[in-house]
Structure 1
Amino acid sequence: MVFLSHICSQYSSPSPIFVCSISCFLLLLLASFFTMSLAGKITTEIGVHATAAKWFNLFATQLHHVQNLTDRVHGTKLHQGEDWHHNETVKHWTYTIDGKATTCLESIESIDEQNKTITYKLFSGDIDHKYKKFKFTFQAIDKDQGGAFIKWTVEYERLAEEVDPPYGYIEYLHKCTKDIDVHLLKA
């Protein structure tokens, strides 16, 4: 405040309204740093034994098999479209998050074959009750010594501050990744 008064006094004496306005602005700015953002991103990397190529092939060309590789996915079916891996196709998923059966629709937003990356948009069902925006990004990265890292990024925007960040989805992705890795090693 002393600094502000010094600057203002060089030009004219600061009016109490001006100082109050600046003080209020600074307080609001400071308060905004302590307010939780509704949007966020959570990233996790999981070491797996199967190669990045096997992982990417499963998610890019055989996504419908995931329901047979982990008991956390109860079922999936085509909701709209005929090709499981086309970006205009919508799939219906039923799975368990935090011990609760959950449903959503999903579509592929983008596929980057060179970087073995796929981004999925999740919506409808239980997602829309908590989140305005919800995306998974899957990336398979080869390790130098064999195997791979599976990198999952969950990008979201909550509808309200009362909605928790989707940590249950990170746990779900960890468990599914471990289950699927066992099956990919056998293939």
Structure 2
Amino acid sequence: MALTGKLSTESAIQSPASKFFDLLAKKLHHVPNVCERVHAAKLHEGDDWHSVGGSVKHWTYVIDGKVTTSKETIESIDEKNKIVIFKLFDGDIDQRYKAFKVIFQVIENNNRSGSAKWTVEYEKVNDDVEAPYGYMEYFDKCRKEMDAHLLQA
């Protein structure tokens, strides 16, 4: 059985693609106020939430019904293609995965809405660890909540 893997999910959004992208690329600190399963987030290192490689955030959230913690840093932001790459580490992540990368992309349609795509690239610590399916369900629920929030804003 392979220790490395990749999972993806893509779903339609009704809010403007640019607003959806901005929430995760420039307003990440708002996510705990929008997503029910995100219990807390705080800046652990650095001066701001969105500098590439220059800040570390500590997150507390719920995966598969269990309160989970990890740290996160932004590896890159591609404004043109609306892609943000996050690296998750420490806490519960390190107990199950040697590497855990989340690639978030907003794909814009002609009518300014579009879809949100989440891809997780991971390396498990051993064969006994399950692929991170719970994260895919978590991202889908967050997408719905973020989309509804942006439609009301």
- Counterpart of 2:145 in 1: which secondary structure? helix
Higher mean Cα deviation, 93-102 or 46-55? Answer: 46-55
One of 23, 33, 48 as aligned partner of 1:58: 23
Instruction: Give the 3-state SS of the residue equivalent to 1:78 in structure 2.
Output: strand
| Residue of structure 1 aligned with 2:88, choices 107, 122, 129 | 122
Give secondary structure in 2 for the equivalent of 1:177.
helix
Give SS of 1:47's match: strand
Deviations 1:97-138 (A, max 9, x none): 000000000000011010000000000000000000001000
How many angstroms does 1:91 deviate by? 0.1
In the alignment, the residues of structure 1 paired with residue 49 and residue 117 of structure 2 have an alpha-carbon distance, to the nearest angstrom, of 22
Partner of 1:177: 143
> Which residue in the other structure is 1:83 paired with?
48
1:60 offset after TM fit, Å? 1.3
| Residue range with higher mean Cα deviation, 154-163 or 55-64 | 55-64
Give identity over the alignment, percent.
55
Give 2:136's aligned amino acid.
I
Structure with higher Rg: it is: 1
- 1:1-187 to structure 2, matched below 5 A, reads 36-87=1-52, 88-187=54-153
Paired with 1:72 and 1:90, the residues of 2 have a C-alpha distance of: 20
Q: TM-score, normalised by structure 1?
A: 0.80
> Is residue 17–residue 112 contact of structure 2 (8 Å, CA) maintained in 1?
no
* Alpha-carbon distance between aligned partners in 2 of 1:163 and 1:155, rounded to the nearest angstrom: 14
Shift of 1:143: 2.1
- TM-score, scaled to structure 2: 0.97
Equivalents in 1 of 2:103, 2:112: separation in Å? 22
SS in 2 for 1:86: coil
Long gaps (5+) in structure 2: none
2: CA distance, partners of 1:145 / 1:136: 27
**Number of equivalences:** 152
Name whichever structure is richer in strand by fraction.
Answer: 2
Ranges in structure 1 where 5+ consecutive residues have no aligned partner? 1-35
1:21 corresponding residue in structure 2: none
Q: Which has the larger helix fraction?
A: 1
Q: CA deviation at 1:145?
A: 4.2
Amino acid at match of 1:104: S
Deviation at 1:144, TM superposition (A): 3.1
